[in-house]
Amino acid sequence: MSAKTLMVQGTASNVGKSILVAALCRIMRQDGWDVAPFKAQNMSLNSFVTRDGGEMGRAQVVQAEAACIEPTVDMNPILLKPEADNRSQVVVRGKALKTQSAREYYSLKKHLWGVVTESLDRLLSGYELVIIEGAGSPAEINLRDKDIVNMEVALYARSPVLLVTDIDRGGAFASLVGTLELLQPAERSLVKAMVMNKFRGDVSLLTPGLKWLEEKTGIPVAGVVPYYHDIRIAEEDSVPLEWKTRPNRTESSLLDIAVILLPHMSNFDDFDPLEQEHEVRLRYVRSRNDLGNPDLIILPGTKSTVADLAYLKQTGIAGDVVTFASKGVPVIGICGGYQMLGEFILDPNHIESSETKVAGLGLLPVTTSFLPVKSTHQVKGYVQGSSGLLREACGLAFTGYEIHMGQTAVENTAAPLVIEERSRTICRDVDGCTNADGEVLGTYVHGIFHNQDLRRAILRQIADKKGVRLNLAGDVRSKEEEYDKLAYWVRNNLDMALINRIVGGRSL
């Protein structure tokens, strides 16, 4: 192990560890470090496929992008994808291993610890600096002997730790002091600084409390990072959707798009680019009462297609989607959402559920069969569909990725998308399906809306059908701009000289 390390741990889940690591990756990159992120174990439905077909948590992809490097599964060697009935699919080094309960998973610690250390060692030998992210809190004493992601990693790497808390939640001082009190002496000795995150208000009012905190713990406060509103960075999990259920635009927006918020919704950052289009009102809808009169309905990806389809039927949302489609309202299904739009879902081997055959919404002439092998690929291709939603998109190129365990058979209809490259292999495959008039579209390609020309062609077609004209001038802000904004925000609110001393790096 030759690289220097810095670990970011939190007093709880969702205190902002992932975003802070992304910011530090960009800051250190700007300061000349060859830096990489690492998180031993992630639990998230928001995943990504690497160039060589490995599946990993989206947060470490964001952090790698911020560090200006290619993401690899070593940056997130273990990914847990929650499913229905209190179980998770265990993805190890990019490949699905098995589905297990929490108790069964913890029995794998000895094997998985070797996976963690091997991946971390490869990063430590290949980069100057590795910024490590913890998970949840290191003070969960009931799980201490099962730890492979927090202090066990810090001790293995002999890494200094920044302890972060979310002051917006309240109880930040108690959270920091309480966490430190529950750590073992060797663990506490690694905590070199504390960070107050997501602060709103006058920071000078915190000064007496910060002074007390430093005197009480003997550990310096590295800074207070204010809450931000206008920096768009893909989030790790679905917690941000709690506030996204509030629409991002007013009633005066020209287009109203409703994304059905499924219980096991995955890859929710598929729709982030739609939020950045100023004339689009994007809503995440939980109930049929909130559906309103959308111009487009989207069924997103899901880790549990059958369970979430049952949820749609039980709540009445399924019937509403079918009714809207019969009236000509466009519907798009992505991955699991695409599977739901078909005639049937077959699961004879009970890969996903106890059901053998489930009726879909019947909006597309397709049938999906679940298989034990997961397909994970980056893809490139072009649009060959030329009707309905894709009337203006024919011939446009796209990139994206696939993550699915089913194969979908299409009945007597031309596929709307052509895949020309899959996992760096040249091919000529087809993807997806549309109904007769092209107003219902299904595809396995995640990230389809991240292709600006294709996204805007679809939006213009919906607007033309509605009889309004969109002004889609100018590009949305690039990822690079967002990472630079984040780095500027964090750099100016942390004591980077202190952090650099903690790392043992270059003088600033």
- Catalytic annotation, residues: 335, 446
- Contact between 257 and 463 under an 8 Å Cβ cutoff? The reply is no
Which of 102-134 are b and which e, b meaning 16 or more Cβ less than 10 Å from the residue's Cβ?
Answer: eeebeebeeebbebbbebbebbbeebbbbbbbb
- Contact between 456 and 463 under an 8 Å Cβ cutoff? The reply is no
Using alpha carbons, select from 451, 379, 442 the residue that is nearest to residue 49. Answer: 379
How far is Cα 389 from Cα 391, in angstroms, rounded to an integer?
Answer: 6
Using alpha carbons, select from 72, 57, 47 the residue that is nearest to residue 130. Answer: 72
- Contact between 259 and 298 under an 8 Å Cβ cutoff? The reply is yes
- Contact between 451 and 270 under an 8 Å Cβ cutoff? The reply is no
How far is Cα 429 from Cα 127, in angstroms, rounded to an integer?
Answer: 38
Token representation of residue 399: 């990139």
Token representation of residue 359: 């009726």
Token representation of residue 385: 């569909």
Torsional sign, CA 496, 497, 502, 505: positive
Q: How many angstroms from the chain centroid is the CA of residue 337?
A: 17
- Contact between 380 and 32 under an 8 Å Cβ cutoff? The reply is no
User: First vs last Cα of the chain: how many Å apart?
Assistant: 25
- What are the DSSP calls for 227-266, one per residue? P-SS-----SSSTTHHHHTS-SS-TT-SEEEEEE--TTEE
- Contact between 367 and 409 under an 8 Å Cβ cutoff? The reply is yes
Torsional sign, CA 264, 265, 266, 269: negative
Spell out the residues 6+ positions from residue 473 whose beta carbon is closer than 8 angstroms to its own. Answer: none
Residue in this structure with the two tokens 């040249």, named with its chain if needed: 426
Using alpha carbons, select from 396, 370, 385 the residue that is nearest to residue 432. Answer: 385
Query: Which neighbouring-strand residues pair with 375?
Result: 404
Q: Which DSSP letter does residue 296 get?
A: E
How far is Cα 59 from Cα 364, in angstroms, rounded to an integer?
Answer: 33
Torsional sign, CA 482, 485, 487, 490: negative
Phi and psi at 143, nearest 5°, equal -110, 5
Using alpha carbons, select from 266, 341, 263 the residue that is nearest to residue 301. Answer: 266
